[in-house]
Amino acid sequence: MFSKYAFVLLALAGACADSNAPIRYGETTKAALVADKGQPSSAEKPLENSPTEILVYPDNQKYQVTNDVVVAGFREPSSDEKSLLYWRHRFKDCPTTFEALSKRDNHLHPEKELKCARDGVSVIYDPNTDQVTRVVEHAQK
Amino acid sequence: MLKNKFWFLLALAACAPQTPDKIVTGKWLEGRAQFVPSRIPAAGPPAASCRSELFTLEEVKREALHYEAQLESEQKINGTWKHLRLNQLPVAQAKFLKAVGTKFGDLTEGVVTDVSACEDAPCIVNTVYRSVDGLEGWATYLWYLKMGNVLSFKNKVFEQADARPGVYKGVSYPLTDYLFSRNELYAFWRMSHALPTVFKTIADLKEIQRVPRKSSIEGREGNTCGLAYSQGFIILNDGCLTFGLTNDNGFIYEGTTHEMAHQIDFQWGKRDNVNSFYYSDNGPWAEVGGWSMREYWDEATRKTIREWSSTLTDAQFVRSYARTSPVEHFADTAAYYRYDGENTKRKIPAPVYTLLKSSVFEQLDYDPVGLMSQFESESVKMFTNEVFQSVANCSKDATTPNTVVPLPEASFPFAVSLPERRCLASKLKGLVDQAVVEAKLQHVDGCRILRVPQRVSEFKQKIEATFLAQMIGHIRAARESEDYFNRLNEFYRNLDQKVLPLRLMAGCYGELNERECYQDAVSDLLDELIPADVIQAETMQTDLRRMFLEANRFETVKMETIKVHQDFLFTQSALISDSVHELWQTCLAVPLTDHDSPVAGPLSLGAGWMASSQYNCLNRDIAKETRSVVGGMSFDQLGVTDGKEGKLLYDLALPIYVREIKQLYEDALAAESALVTKTLEESSQLFEQKLKGDFSWARRPNSLQSDCESEALKNLPNDFRYHKRSEVFTPRARLFCQQLLQSAEFATWMSTQQVFVEQQVLNHFVSRIQVKSDERVAECLEKYPIGNIFQSVWNKKKCRRCYLDEWEQLETVAWGEALTAANTQLPIERSTLRGRVSYRIEQIQEDVHENKCKSNSLGIRLGNPF
């Protein structure tokens, strides 16, 4: 009987430990994410016939889940994080790439992605407004 | 009962007890008059004059001098511009020259545009244009005065790839190909009259530039004719500067307005910044356009994908391009709203139309019906005094030729004498004819709309009815109260002034619901002016309130209030500039470091760089200094003390302050860039000297490249503020180090260094052990095969024993081969070094035990999982 209770306690301890664990992109499961963040306000399917879905949370926070694994997260930048200089400073020891997201033929510059693949962090920068508009976290390379 | 209650309200407002003015801009505005275009006598009937005929040197210059006078200030701008002392020029000219800076005309090295004979700003422009009559210079200057940005007159395009002026996309162009043609300047002048006030309040827009004729825009497909940069530039090529059948239509209008609308979007986005940085991709515009963003991370390419989509159908956009994104949707719809009002109204959904109408176009429509309505409203405002004076004059002296047909008795609800009716008829006809002339002259679309006889007749009928109603009201007022009638007389002389609505609007700035606040302010005013004990006070208040708000629409007054305050700030430019310079120097004096993270603030540098010590100093103090500057502003001994006015001035002054800081940054960056280039040129020599001369930096065999680069960077100057050292110099250092490490010199030196030779030998040793291990495993498995479960049980231990047999000898042989490969003369002892690679050797053995001399329960020999 004691062993039965011990088992239950251990299981609970494990569950509690999981729910407070930071999200590890490429490893954390959808279940763990939902246990931690609660049910999403909505879910989107960005691609047809694909196992990928985007779980939407308040404050425009989103998580991309593929085959039940959280592979990426999207959030708004904090006020300090809105300047590109902040991220260039933060990534100063990380080899980065800085590429246009799309080759759009219009009157504005396309958004650009400053990526530190080593840390699994990218930021989306809009040269038209001179602001970082999104922070994207994903599996490290 | 008074029918024409509007005039009653205004009269009472004019004569109400005046409290001391607390609003500085109100006091400043009192001295400003509206510009009145010349009345050009036409060869034909008076109704033949059109706005387009007023694009002459005399008229453009007159208009420019009018606005220049309104922007004048006692506080002059300090400094010099070439041979000109800025404090001896009108403030507007000084600011124009400061905005142009040294970048004008032909910027090719060695070419100097001689402007020494010029005494004013338009002359500078005319010299570049080689103008025959001076029109180009005054038109360019006038655009600056009205719109706040410069029509570029130089041969370099913002952010062009080629550093050489006059060369674009590898092709040389003469200066003239970069200059706007006279027709294009006409179009800009026309737009300055056509566009609503919001287009004149784009504080961050610095310049509109022309891409050289016949060239497409660098880096873009051929059908892109314009680009808007948030750094404050718009560039346009031939495609955005085309005309239609006349110079009054053509894509030049839609194209330019589209790009300016982008700038408005940027500006409003900063103002409304919650989670977005454009006005259009969030909030009401995104809602009415049915816009949503699809974003996901592409796991295959490891790139973020972001795409917009709308629930509107293709037919609900003004054209397909507007479908690209909410940002393009906003810019395109705004452009077509103004110049193709009828089709736009028909095509786009009502919520989109309504939102644009109220947010940008001050509740004005630009289809023919809407334009006619504008002409009517403007005529009513313009001729209010004349209508009043007509009644006053006809009541005193009704002498009029008998040939004039009097107004019928039935037109009046009371008896009016025949002579008076004849007199009024004559006045009325004159006023109506004049209203038609003014509509064509004042409004850029006047001639186009009133070209159709039916529309002219319709317009005349409506205006006549309105003027007649006013006349009836004035006659009644005169009969009821002579005193009131006299007060009205005095008031109408000053009817054009916008001070009252401005004061009411300024008091509502920043309120959660500004519209409601403004309307309430009007109601409060009426409560004060029309006491409750006046007969039918409530009805009178309701009528007057409606009339006042129709004549002073919230949207129009709001935009005009912003413009007035911006213009006031223009006159205070010297104060702002002095403060900016002082703050810049203060932050330069802060010890230079880059340890702290950059903090958020009003200043951002795009993809630029600034040492965080300086950046944080500026970002911490810009807001405070701007507030201080605004607090120090005054006009005619009245300072800024009203909280709301102060807030509005602060909100408008802050981007100006930031812009000037950015200009100082760009100047400093350019100066430092020259130094960086010089340092780069000298760097190779320095690296040779420091890194080749002494290889003591090479201590760690596994980090030679990075140690070399670190050492190289250490020897470069450490005081660059606006260039990230590692980005600028690392590629050069990297290349140098790669070559150095492969050089014979370094190899020779390395071969004399114990630590490197030891590492080399150890690497060879482990590599040879791996090879020999593989050979031995193959031999052992041949002797003791493990192909099924029975063999595994029987032979597993034998295989392992075979593998490890005389292992020491295997190592001895491998060591010998490693020494031979290293070809060194240095004494390298295995016994002292083996410990460094023992774990790697153990891994090789472990792999054999676990994966080769073993099988699983199914009889399958496992392969090497590593």
Q: What is the pLDDT of residue B42?
A: 43
Across all residues in chain B, what is the average pLDDT? Answer: 87
pLDDT mean over B571-594:
94
Count Cβ–Cβ pairs < 8 Å, chain A vs chain B: 135
Residue B384, both tokens: 């209010």
Helices and strands in chain B, H and E counts: 31, 12
Better-scored residue on pLDDT, B762 or A106:
B762
> Rounded to an integer, what distance in angstroms lies between the CA atom of residue B191 and that of residue B119?
28
Q: Are B497 and B27 in contact (CB under 8 A)?
A: no
Per DSSP (E only), the strands in B313-420 are: none
In B443-481, alpha helices (H):
446-449, 453-480
Say if residues B207 and B149 touch (Cβ distance below 8 Å).
Answer: yes
Tell if the CB–CB gap between B266 and A128 is shorter than 8 Å: yes
- The answer for A 1-60 residues in CB contact with B (under 8 A) is 44, 46-47, 52, 54, 59-60
Are A84 and B604 in contact (CB < 8 Å)? yes
Chain A residues inside the 8 Å CB shell of B270: 129
| Nearest chain A CA: its distance from B221 CA (Å) | 6
Sequence letter at residue B171:
V
Residue contact A89–B612, C-beta within 8 A: yes
CA atoms in the 13 A half-sphere facing the CB of B356: 26
Interface contact A129-B726, CB threshold 8 A: no
Q: Which residues of B touch A105 (CB under 8 A)?
A: 220-221, 223-224
- Restricting to A residues 64-93, those with a Cβ less than 8 Å away from any Cβ of B are 64, 66, 71-72, 74, 76, 78-86, 88-90, 92
When pLDDT is averaged across residues B320-328 and rounded to a whole number, the result is 93
Buried b (16+ CB within 10 A) or exposed e, A24-62: ebeebebebbbeeeeebeeebebeeeeebbbbebeeeeb
Position B606 scores a pLDDT of 84
Residues of B in contact with A80 (CB under 8 A): 597-600
pLDDT band at B378 (very low <50, low <70, confident <90, very high): confident
Instruction: Kindly tell me if the per-residue pLDDT of B858 is higher than 70.
Output: no
Contacts B607 to A, Cβ<8 Å = 84, 98, 125, 127
Q: Identify the weakest region by mean pLDDT among A96-105, B416-425, B442-451, B705-714.
A: A96-105
Taking CA–CA distances from B227, the nearest residue in chain A reads A107
pLDDT at site B422: 93
CB atoms within 10 A of CB B534: 11
pLDDT digits (tens, 9 = 90+) for B148-201: 999 999 999 999 999 899 999 999 999 999 999 999 999 999 999 999 999 999
Is A136 at the interface with chain B, CB within 8 A? yes
For residue B141, the model assigns a pLDDT of 98
CB of A134 less than 8 A from some CB of B: yes
Which chain A residue shows the shortest CA-CA distance from B304?
Answer: A101
Q: Which residues of A touch B331 (CB under 8 A)?
A: 107
Residue of A nearest to B309 (CA): A46
Compare all CA atoms of chain A with the CA of B294 and give the residue at the minimum distance: A46
Which string of DSSP letters, residue by residue, matches A6-56?
A: HHHHHHHHHHHHHHHSPP-TTTSBHHHHHHHH-S-SEEE-SSTT-SEEEEE
Q: What ipTM was estimated for this complex?
A: 0.82
Question: What is the per-residue pLDDT across B458-513, written as a single tens digit (0 to 9) for each?
Answer: 999 999 999 998 898 888 877 876 766 665 665 555 545 677 888 889 889 989 89
Asked whether the predicted pLDDT for residue B453 surpasses 60, the reply is yes
pTM of structure: 0.79
Contact A129 B270 (CB under 8 A): yes
| Closest partner CB to A130 (pick from B276, B597, B604) | B604
* Minimum Cα–Cα distance from B268: chain A residue: A129
User: Taking the CB of residue B692, how many other CB atoms lie within 10 A of it?
Assistant: 14
Q: Are strands B167-168 and B233-236 parallel, antiparallel or unpaired?
A: unpaired
Give the chain A residue whose CA is nearest to the CA of B615: A85
* Strand B233-236, strand B207-210: pairing: parallel
DSSP conformation class of B537: H
**Tokens describing residue A114:** 């400053």
Cα gap B764→B770, rounded to integer Å: 10
Torsion of CA B437, B440, B443, B444, to 10 degrees: -160
When mean pLDDT is compared across B267-281, B476-490, B639-653, B714-728, the lowest value belongs to B476-490
Question: Of the candidates A66, A92, A129, which has its C-beta nearest B278's C-beta?
Answer: A129
Chain B contacts of A141, Cβ < 8 Å? 302
Q: Find all residues with CB under 8 Å of A129, minimum gap 6, and list them.
A: B230, B266, B269, B270, B277, B278
Indicate which of A87, A108, A138 best probes the interface with B, i.e. most B CBs within 10 Å of its own CB: A108
Q: What is the pLDDT of residue B11?
A: 46
Residues B184-187: contacts with CB under 8 Å, at least 24 apart = B184/B210, B184/B241, B184/B252, B185/B135, B185/B136, B185/B139, B185/B140, B185/B151, B186/B52, B186/B55, B186/B139, B186/B247, B187/B241, B187/B243, B187/B247, B187/B250, B187/B252, B187/B253, B187/B256
Interface probe for B, chosen from A85, A94, A137 (most Cβ of B below 10 Å), is A85
Pick B230's closest partner by Cβ from A111, A130, A136.
Answer: A130
From A91, which residue of chain B is nearest by alpha-carbon distance? Answer: B597
Residue B38 carries which side chain, given as an amino acid letter?
S
Minimal Cβ distance to B230: which of A86, A111, A129? A129
Instruction: Report, as an integer, the average pLDDT of A2-20.
Output: 47
Give the strand pairing for B233-236 and B226-229.
antiparallel
> Would residue B689 be called left, alpha or beta, if left means φ above 0 and alpha means ψ between -120 and 50 degrees?
alpha
For residue B240, what is the nearest residue in chain A, using CA coordinates? A107
